[in-house]
Amino acid sequence: MTRRSALIVLTGLLTLSPATPAVESQDAAVKKKPVAAQPQKKRPPAENYPVHEDSKVQAGVPQGTVHGPIRWTSKVFSGTVRDYWIYEPAGYDKSKPHCQIVVQDGMRVGRRWKFPTVLDNLIHKKAIPPMIGVFIAPGVVPPARKDAQPRFNRSFEYDGMGPRYARFLEKEILPEVAKRFHLSDDPNDRMITGSSSGAICAFTAAWERPDLFRRVFTAVGTFVSLKGGNEYPTLIRKYEPRPIRIFLQDGRNDLDIFGGSWWEANQQMLASLKWAGYDVAHAWGNGGHNHKHATAILPEVIRWLWRDYPKPVTNVAGTPRRSKILLPGEGWEVVSRGHKFTGGPAVSDTGEVFFTDGPNNTIHRIGLDNKVSVFARETGDAGGLMFGPDGKLYACQNDDKRIVRYDAQGTAETVIEGVGSNDLVILGQYGYFTDPSSRQVWRFTLDGKKTVVAKNIRLPNGVVATTDHAFLLVTNTRGRFTYSFAIQPDGTLAHRQRHGHLHRGDGDNDTGADGLTVDTDGRSYVATRMGLQVLDQLGRVHIILNKPGRGWFSNVVFGGPKLDTLYATCGGRIYRRKVATRGVRPWQGPVKPARPRL
């Protein structure tokens, strides 16, 4: 079995702050006041863990070298400075690509956990591939005044959710290390770990970027409400599984403060990871918020995370969910690329999918043979598309402020004039369209009549009817919820309600909800910044499919002869993915779904 060498990145604290001021005078003042007797809090049992043999310096085992500290000024975290160190294993071979492990809190954790010694021993025993370590500190922003504190960036970098820290490693630290060492860019060759806030940071980096890191160890992880980390147990259950392997450690006497209980949060993390089908292991103890237990188990944790290397960590099958739409081995695949901005996917009576490229003023057709061709040109920056019962393709033309319909030859005929429009749905001889510029929803007939049926939606975008045509669903790009309106016999709308509760990212002011579609079971599929959020009939997100690619995720539709393939427009590409459910063609009439499970 051939083995690639490996790189380990460890991140640590950079001490730039003055000493903590004394508080003896305050304590003395308090003692003078009569205070009611308080019950003594029972101290947790003393922690005594044996030192693992692989954490001891062994005779005859070559020792690696630690280089540094090296000062670094970041651009990703503007104004921050920090130090990092590099561990070079004995016998480093520059001809081989090296894996990476990232450990937060750097040489402070590195020394406490006896990381260099553990690496020396495990590499010597060939339990893991040879690894180079890089120990990097969280940043601080030095103050302009000498009598002021720096801005300590540890909580922002570590506790905060989102891809920032992974991008910092990808764009700054790893390229800098690669100037001195031959690094592998395979995510299976990378482990990331840390303690406390450094632990949640490790998880976040792998969660956000499994294309960078796939092996994770979290010790006394801060999965509580400091900067949003308490949401992870929910998100883990709702997102489709990601290709990461996780080991959790915590103790029953960990912190229990304003942000939550560390112990309970780690139990919830484990429960969610197991429920979602992840390759996860754990070690629970009775200790507090410290390094003792993690230090004792570190050699075995590393062995477990790398146990079958170089076999890659891949997507897990996942747990059967209430919304059973995932198919094993099926993911997003590119159908067409090279466009400026794709949108408005619509399915024809035969299952062909049409989509727009607004900036290029074109509408494209995806044939049943999956070949992509141009259907129409000079389309007036067309956005939303939808077929009608007449077999014609209706399009929202933004530049010309009109809705048109195309015949089979791509010749356009005007239906509605003098209105802004973004997306539309057709339910027989009438339909609805959104008008973001006027914050309205319109009803229109195929013979050209129109009337406003809903007002004062901040940015109405996608629109679709429920499968039984009883309600109209409208997304609000600048809000948190989708709206539901009861369709009345005369086509007017009533009983407006904030219906679909969508998730949004840590750095997002809104969900970015755009287009949506529905399936025969009454579920709605909403394109958002966080991915494709799938809601049941009651407006609850059951599962979130990963965003297909980079760029704005604009819309989705069911296509193919059996309507069992999702087509998604995202950035300059269109993607497809086969699923275990089917869509509907709204213009063909209502389809009554089963009663929802409450």
pLDDT, residue 226, reads 96
pLDDT, residue 41, reads 59
Does the structural domain 5-15+51-305 have CATH classification 3.40.190.10?
A: no
Residue 225 region by backbone torsions, left for phi larger than 0, else alpha for psi between -120 and 50, else beta: beta
Neighbours of 177 (CB within 10 A): 22
- Strands 524-528 vs 531-535: parallel, antiparallel or unpaired: antiparallel
Cβ atoms 357, 364 nearer than 8 A: yes
519 DSSP 8-state letter: B
Residue 579 region by backbone torsions, left for phi larger than 0, else alpha for psi between -120 and 50, else beta: beta
Contacts 24+ apart (CB under 8 A), 14-17: 14/81, 14/82, 14/83, 14/137, 14/138, 14/139, 14/140, 16/81, 16/140, 16/142, 16/150, 17/140, 17/149, 17/150, 17/152
Backbone angles phi, psi at 234, to 5 degrees: -70, -45
Side-chain-facing half-sphere of 420: CA atoms under 13 Å: 11
The tokens for 416 are 């509605």
Listing DSSP states for 444-488 in one string gives EETTS-EEEEE---SSEEEEEE-TTSSEEEEEETTSSEEEEEEEP
Three-state SS for 174?
Answer: helix
pLDDT, residue 505, reads 87
pLDDT, residue 324, reads 87
Q: Where are the domains of the chain?
A: 5-15+51-305, 333-588
Cβ atoms 12, 135 nearer than 8 A: yes
Asked if the domains 5-15+51-305 and 333-588 are classified in one and the same CATH topology, the answer is no
Q: How far is CA 371 from CA 26, 366, 562, in A?
A: 77, 6, 18
Listing DSSP states for 234-299 in one string gives HHHHHBPP-S-EEEEEEETTS-EETTEEHHHHHHHHHHHHHHTT-EEEEEEES--SSSHHHHHHHH
From the CA atom positions of the chain, what is the Rg in Å? 28
Helices 292-305 and 115-124 pack at an angle, to 10 degrees, of 30
Successive 10-residue mean pLDDT values, the chain, 598 residues: 49 39 34 51 76 97 95 97 95 94 91 96 97 92 94 96 96 97 96 97 97 97 96 95 96 97 98 95 96 97 97 81 86 97 97 97 96 96 96 95 97 96 96 97 97 97 97 96 97 97 90 97 97 96 95 98 98 97 95 88
Three-state SS for 366?
Answer: strand
The whole-model pTM stands at 0.90
The tokens for 132 are 């180079």
Task: Write the CB contacts of 309 (distance below 8 Å, at least 6 apart in sequence).
Answer: 3, 128, 129, 188
**Bond before 548 cis per omega within 30 degrees:** no
pLDDT, residue 7, reads 53
Please report, to the nearest 10 degrees, the dihedral formed by the alpha carbons of residues 343, 344, 346, 352 taken in order: -30
Burial 288-314 (b: 16+ CB within 10 A, else e): bbbbbbbbbbbbebbebbbeebeeebe
Neighbours of 557 (CB within 10 A): 26
The tokens for 554 are 């604009």
Does the structural domain 333-588 have CATH classification 3.40.1400.10?
A: no
Which residues, listed in sequence order, are joined to residue 452 by a DSSP beta bridge?
442
The enclosing H or E element of 205 equals: helix 197-208
